[in-house]
Amino acid sequence: MKKRQMKWLAVLSIFLILFLAACGTDESGSGSGDDSGKSKDPKFLSILTGGTQGTYYPLGGTFAELVSEETGIKTTAEVSQASAANMTALQEEEGDIAFVQTDIAYYGTEGTEMFEGNKLDTVVALGALYPETVQLVTLADSGINSFEDLKGKKVSVGAPGSGTYANAEQLLEIHGLSIEDDIQAQNLDFGESTDGLSTGQIQAAFITAGYPTSAVEALNATNKVNIIPVSEDKAKELIEKYPYYAVDAVPKGTYGLADEVPAVSVLAMLAVKKDLSEDLVYKITKGIYGNTDKISHAKGEFIKAETALDGIGIDVHPGAQKYFDEVNK
């Protein structure tokens, strides 16, 4: 009899243990300590932009607000060294979303140009934004009216390895000039460039950004600005060699210009870390491209879900692709 009682007590004990274990599992939602069922989404998101006087930074502030509202995750816009540095930062887990030029994104994922031997394999596209015009800025009284007039002059070409530097190098090449041999190259950011023009420390500056660029607008408030044109034949030659460029123009009235100035442009885009979840990137994409009416910057009119995959030369995150597939049916 005692043996039978002991047997039943043992069975009841086993059932009790199993019941308590099940309760613990239900409360935690994760089984035996495995976190695989829990969200891997970060608690904070950072958007890497550029300098405070470019176009990326003010737009980034607006995007941060839109993403925060859509995802419920606190998102901030961070000042950075722009395209090339942003691609490297994403690869090194130092940011989550970043503004980059389409040409620089391509170089990074292919491991060419400034990324030679350092192919970036954890960065993908979220979507295209707007044209970034390569603006060669001078003062009206500088005596510089063409690319050929740059020979021997002090010219800001951006930081080595930056998107602006690559644009300057390629445009000078098409005009028979080189950074190393034909100009006195200065590696300045947009604010330093316009300050240098104002004080006479440099005579011209390459600025790749959406117009109107705040740094150039500030310069024009105190000095009459001139934008050097890119002729139709030179633009065609450039595009034949570097197909990620497009024909563009700085409109009449921008910076007080009396006439439209022909130019070339690349595209600004957003890149993201590849390992962000599909659901989160879907929400990020929806937050930005689904609320373009809330973007007050002049470039907001170019940001559209319908054209968000145009000109993208790298893989697109599945979450972004899902959103664009839905809205562009």
* Mean pLDDT to the nearest integer, 98-123: 94
How many Å is the maximal CA-CA distance in the chain? 113
Extract the runs of DSSP E, i.e. beta strands, from the chain. 44-48, 74-78, 97-101, 123-139, 154-156, 184-186, 204-209, 225-227, 246-250, 261-273
* Mean pLDDT to the nearest integer, 185-201: 95
Share of the chain above pLDDT 70, in %: 88
Q: Does residue 219 share a domain with residue 141? A: yes
Q: Does residue 151 share a domain with residue 106? A: no
Structural domain includes residue 18: no
Strands 225-227 and 184-186: unpaired
Domain of residue 170, residue span:
132-266
- What pLDDT shows up at residue 174? 97
**Per-residue pLDDT for 160 more than 80?**
no
**Per-residue pLDDT for 25 more than 80?**
no
Of 234, 266, 298, which closes a domain?
266
* Mean pLDDT to the nearest integer, 151-180: 93
Q: Three-class SS of residue 262? A: strand
Of 266, 293, 318, which closes a domain?
266
Of 244, 266, 288, which closes a domain?
266
Position 4 confidence tier, pLDDT thresholds 50, 70, 90: low
Q: Does residue 259 share a domain with residue 137? A: yes
Structural domain includes residue 275: yes
- What pLDDT shows up at residue 22? 46
Position 26 confidence tier, pLDDT thresholds 50, 70, 90: very low
Q: Does residue 248 share a domain with residue 139? A: yes
Mention every residue, 6+ apart, whose C-beta is less than 8 A from residue 13.
none
Q: Does residue 243 share a domain with residue 148? A: yes
Most confident listed range (44-48, 161-165, 208-212) = 44-48
More confident residue, 161 or 83: 83
Q: Does residue 250 share a domain with residue 165? A: yes
* Mean pLDDT to the nearest integer, 119-131: 96
**Per-residue pLDDT for 28 more than 70?**
no
- What pLDDT shows up at residue 329? 87
Q: Does residue 170 share a domain with residue 235? A: yes
* Mean pLDDT to the nearest integer, 180-207: 96
- What pLDDT shows up at residue 217? 95
- What pLDDT shows up at residue 79? 94
Q: What angle do CA 189, 121, 64 make, to 5 degrees?
A: 50
Q: Does residue 287 share a domain with residue 323? A: yes
- What pLDDT shows up at residue 193? 95
- What pLDDT shows up at residue 210? 87
- What pLDDT shows up at residue 10? 52
- What pLDDT shows up at residue 133? 95
The alpha-helical segments, DSSP class H, found in 179-231 are 179-182, 190-199, 214-220
- What pLDDT shows up at residue 81? 86
Q: What does pTM read for this prediction? A: 0.76
Q: Does residue 231 share a domain with residue 171? A: yes
Position 128 confidence tier, pLDDT thresholds 50, 70, 90: very high
**Per-residue pLDDT for 16 more than 60?**
no
- What pLDDT shows up at residue 17? 47
Structural domain includes residue 137: yes
Mention every residue, 6+ apart, whose C-beta is less than 8 A from residue 15.
none
Residue 168 belongs to a domain with what CATH number?
A: 3.40.190.10
Q: Does residue 143 share a domain with residue 241? A: yes
* Mean pLDDT to the nearest integer, 14-18: 48
- What pLDDT shows up at residue 53? 81
Structural domain includes residue 22: no
Q: Three-class SS of residue 6? A: helix
Q: How many domains does the chain have?
A: 2
Q: What does the mean pLDDT of the chain come to?
A: 89
Position 36 confidence tier, pLDDT thresholds 50, 70, 90: very low
> What is the distance between the alpha carbons of residues 292 and 282, in angstroms, rounded to a whole number?
16
Structural domain includes residue 33: no
Q: Does residue 321 share a domain with residue 238? A: no
Structural domain includes residue 150: yes
Structural domain includes residue 279: yes
Structural domain includes residue 120: yes
Q: Does residue 254 share a domain with residue 141? A: yes
